[in-house]
A = this chain, B = another copy of it.
């Protein structure tokens, strides 16, 4: 079923059908109705490939996610969901590309086969080949996350540095003197994963400012690793009374390790983190955490991308998010600490 067939049946030319459908030039009410009737009857929709070829745009955006093999965190899933939603709201389709490095086949297909009008990139490293490649092709793109030279691209990101500093200050205010930072998995951090490094920087800075003892560890992104990690932490540093973390996936395991060591949260031990609200609330006990507005971030990323697609020459936009910490049930006064009233 193509536009020629519709034209024939409606007794008009192909261009008239096209204009009747797009409204880009006036068509008489009567012929418009006749055309619409045929279109409805045959269920005609313009062929996307032909249109893309002619118009030079695909009405599709690419969403580059971490390789599916490694399970996405709840926050990442939140980004994906909100990007897909926001795109649908703007009548854009989303092409998924699970790819890590630059030479990924799927990534190359998407960016250099001109399959999309723009790209949203997740899980960005401080040095990121994909960013380099995208800049090279000139394809509009927006990061959820940013590289080490953030002026050079458009992005929305979480201000992990500030957030972790806030966590430390909050814990320090409660009298905690010895804390640990539980980071994401070691490979990711070693590979220059921005949030890992920025969280570390914020933690280190705040710990120094408050004159505290801070220990920093990496931990694989799952509950079992979280449990093992905290067990080891408690063995090596029994004086610890609090943890700040950006590793959501590991938290349930941390809870277990603390419980099994005989520590009650938050009476004996405090935890503060960064997570999506829904998830923090559903945890037991509910986690004191900076609530990341994943929905909003995805939606804003799509907005920025649409804007860049419309005019690729505009200056870059940046949105750095540092939501307040929501007090829930995992932080309390340090054991033996008389809180100043």
The residues of A with any CB-CB pair to B shorter than 8 Å are 43, 45-50, 52-53, 58, 60, 63, 67-69, 71-72, 77, 81-82, 84-85, 88, 91, 93-98, 105-106, 108-110, 112-115, 136-137, 222-224, 252, 256, 278, 282, 284
Task: Note all chain B residues with C-beta closer than 8 A to A58.
Answer: 49
Copies of this chain per assembly: 2
CB distance A45 to B108 under 8 Å? yes
**Which chain B residues lie closer than 8 Å to A47 at the CB level?**
53, 113-114
Rounded to whole angstroms, the CA-CA distance of A77 and B63 in the bound complex is 16
Indicate if the CB atoms of B109 and A48 lie closer than 8 Å. Answer: yes
In the bound complex, do residue B68 and residue A114 qualify as a contact, i.e. CB atoms below 8 Å apart?
no
Say yes or no: B95 contacts A109, CB within 8 Å. no
Bound complex: CA A223 to CA B279 (Å) = 10
A137's closest neighbor in chain B, by CB? B43
| Contact partners of A112 in chain B: CB under 8 A | 43, 45
Interchain nearest-CB distance for A105 vs B (Å): 7
CB nearest neighbor in B for A59 = B109
The answer on a CB contact under 8 Å between B113 and A84 is no
A91-B105 CB under 8 A given contacts A84-B68, A85-B98: yes
Q: Cβ of A114 and Cβ of B48 under 8 Å apart? A: yes
CA distance A196 to B278 in the complex (A): 25
CB pair B95–A68 under 8 Å, yes or no, is no
What is the bound-complex CA distance between A49 and B110, given in angstroms?
12
Q: Say which residue of B53, B84, B106, B282 sits within 8 Å of A252 (CB atoms).
A: B282
A136→B1 CA distance, assembly (Å): 14
* Distance to closest chain B CB from A86 (angstroms): 9
- Given contact pairs A49-B115, A53-B53, A69-B85, enumerate 15 new A-B contacts (beta carbons under 8 Å): A45-B114, A47-B53, A47-B113, A47-B114, A49-B58, A68-B82, A72-B81, A88-B98, A93-B115, A94-B95, A94-B96, A222-B282, A223-B282, A223-B284, A224-B282
Q: Identify the closest chain B residue to A44 (Cβ).
A: B112
